[in-house]
A and B are shown apart, each in its own frame.
Chain A
Amino acid sequence: MTFDTQTKDSTLDNLLKEVPRQIESLRSIRETFLTDAVLLGEIPSPTYGEKDRIRLVIDRFRENGLQDPTLDEFGNASGIVQGSSGNSTILVMAHADSVFSADTRHVLEVGSDFITGPGIADNAIGLAAVVALPKLLSHLNIKFKDDLLLVANVKSLGRANMEGTRGFLETMSRPTKAGICVEGATQGRLSYSGLGTLRAQINLNIPSDYDWSSFGAAGAISHLNRLINQLMEISLPKEPKSKMTFGGLTAGSSFNTSPRTGRLRFEITSEGDEVIDDLEKSLHEICEQFSLETGTEVRMEIVAKRQNCGIPFTHPLVKTTRAIMHEAGITPKVDPSTGDLNAIIRAGHPGITLGLTTAENLREENETIHLEPIYAGLAQLITLLQAIDEGVCEL
């Protein structure tokens, strides 16, 4: 064991000892971040429509003591908690967009031990934690040598394909030690890799000259059903691990009229980039064949494609995170990310995604977070930031 390693271990030990005290202390100022979670969460913020929520983030950054919070050209809000040296930067990000449309009734219910409402877990509470971080650090009397760069990033989800994060990272020129993505759910997730992902949308259209009298003629729903069956017959390898998820199906509006158009949204994730490349080719072929056989117009649009990336399980950032989780009473579960972590790692920074609490009904209108685990979730975040600041997480 080198002296350097011994120093790191002892520094980490000292930080870990503070975790229980931090958890209790954070409990005493929960109103600070829960209020932000509710106020932010009740502002609709669909991807590409985050402007109003971001305006509140900027106001809150300012009220919480950040100097000159910034709105960048992509719509991201950011602010800096100045460190004593400022020689390097730790990035703390939370996405500000939500899967819910502006038409959804964004009303949250606050119970004694829960908050329920659309988008509270993904990601109003995560965003609130980042927004409230200066207040929490001040309350805990924690100061950093590094600058903390707090970012509420927009255009993260779905079709946006991390556009906000990628834009932010491309234009940021600060020396960065690490990036942490903060998600509301789920506590215990240990995401240190970005999963290879292909998101696609298949649009099926029945042309105006379609022969409704021919054998097998059908509306868009029947055709999409057959197409889905064909996609489900695609053999996915066990290794590298791969998965296909059907996330959205839209067609028709009545009981007795066959719709002429339909749309299928799905995602393929795989630990093998070559698997994704092969599947993309197969999907195009299936769509082309289906189109020719049925006389329908089938067009597949690739919405997002990302390659696998990550840092090793043995990276000090991952090891330290595991140790902190253990101390905070959180059971870690390896969970590759399909979100903004991918952009951070691909930009060359070591990164990790943390979940703050446990949740139910994710991405449903009655999405619910549990309040009791949040204090440990926040303590894990703050202790990890301290460890990065102390150099414990460097190779």
Chain B
Amino acid sequence: MAREKYRFNTPAGRVFDVFNVALLVALGLLAMLPFIYVTAGSFATESELATRSFFLWPETFSLRAYESILTSPAFLRAMITTIAVTAVGTVVQLLLTASMAYPLSKGNLPGRRLMLSLIVFTMVFSGGMIPTFLMVKDLGLLNTYWALILPAAINPFSLIIIKNFFQQLPAELEESAKIDGANELQTLWSVILPLSKPVLATFALFYAVGIWNDFMSPLLYLNDNSMWTLQMFLRQVTVATDLSIIEADPSQLPPAQGVKFAVIVVATLPILLFYPFLQKHFAKGMLIGSVKG
């Protein structure tokens, strides 16, 4: 297409492209390197980890670390639990947030500014761990998975950004829906949301990651070990040796370095793979056609 060529094929444009690609690929590799190290370490033997400092490929390949994790039914159960809770939780949180963001994006709604101020205030201040715990307890949510989803259901930051996105959508879209007889609920569902795919996908990712990485909530609200999520394992394996200033219990060895790495890999990989799924929603030009039509 002539237009395409015109856009990019100036000499300066081409140089820039090459430089840009090189730079970004370098950044990508730089970002990747430590994770490769962790992955490589998870496949190495203990003695190799103790002797070589930084490597990207293990000399002796060992599946020992993974064996010890994956043969543990507790770990597998935690994996499935975490995936389920994350999936359901993300949808619930996203729906709650979007449905609240939409009315707040209407500048003429009475009480809007007050509500927004109250919401923003919660970004800088919270009651704290114990008061929130007591509230969850009083609502009877202790030892349920809802305690992992509801207390953080609406992230004020996400709410505000989504609201702003809604605000930037052209007013004609809603007007034409109104002319067709739709109320706001229907407008939201059939017009606004489909057009907000990039931002919704973004926050689906943020919420999913938030739930996935959350170790505080399971710790506080779940007593039953059979309900544990992956982060409890991860935390236990990595933090115990690194952050403790209490003298370590003499009879215990710290977890093997290889196991530590393997847990990191297994606890991180699924959520890493979530992003490529969402990337198609980040495609350009979502608005073309809808305005004209």
> A and B bound?
no
